[in-house]
Amino acid sequence: MGTVLLVAYASNHGSTREVAEAIGRSLQEDGLSTDVRPVEEVHDLAGYSAVVLGAPLYMGRWQRHAHAFLRRHQEALAERPLGVFALGPLHDDPKEWSEARAQLGTALARHGVRPVLVELFGGRVDPAHLRFPFSKMPPGDLRDWDAIAAWAERLPKALGIALPAAV
């Protein structure tokens, strides 16, 4: 069996799913076999050479399903390279970005994982999908699709996976 990468994501309102799908498409365009799946659907990591995990930060906490994924697959993740991304800041404020990076670092340290590549991207808020009082927030999308594509391009090398030879 060849190299298969898992891009697993936790997403409450679809923003992180969209980023995970873009990363998966980028890896597939590079010729890599890639599964993009919600973390709740991943029951076993057998057959995956490497894992990419993405989840949002909400109110200073990493999404709970991402924590559950790391707990559930702790042993298997110790045997394969892991890349992690999070969506968080909603504003272009250095303090907000710094705090989000610290929150992500704390979340990962809690599980003792050592990802080979970690990145934080801006988040998105769509008040139409939120409950009061968050439904009163202004809409915004700080996801940088060029930065996401560039990170996806760095993943294979960081994960130690050779790209297939061009035919």
Q: How far is 65 from 67, CA to CA, in rounded Å? A: 5
pTM of the model: 0.90
Is 144 a member of any domain? yes
pLDDT at 139: 59
Is 89 a member of any domain? yes
Does the structure show a pLDDT above 50 at 167?
A: no
CA 15 to chain centroid, in Å, comes to 11
CATH code, domain with 70: 3.40.50.360
Is 166 a member of any domain? no
Task: Quickly state the pLDDT bin for 12 (edges 50, 70, 90).
Answer: confident
Is 115 a member of any domain? yes
pLDDT at 58: 81
Among 49-53, 59-63, 90-94, the range scoring the smallest mean pLDDT is: 59-63
Tokens 């997403």, residue located: 11
Is 164 a member of any domain? no
Is 167 a member of any domain? no
pLDDT at 135: 56
**Token pair listed for 44:** 């076993």
Which domain range does residue 129 map to?
4-159
- The tally of domains found in the chain comes to 1
Is 140 a member of any domain? yes
Among 116-120, 128-132, 145-149, 157-161, the range scoring the smallest mean pLDDT is: 128-132
Angle at which helix 145-159 crosses helix 15-29, to 10 degrees, equals 50
Q: Which of 136, 117, 116, 118 is nearest to 126 (CA)?
A: 136
Percent of the chain with pLDDT over 90: 71
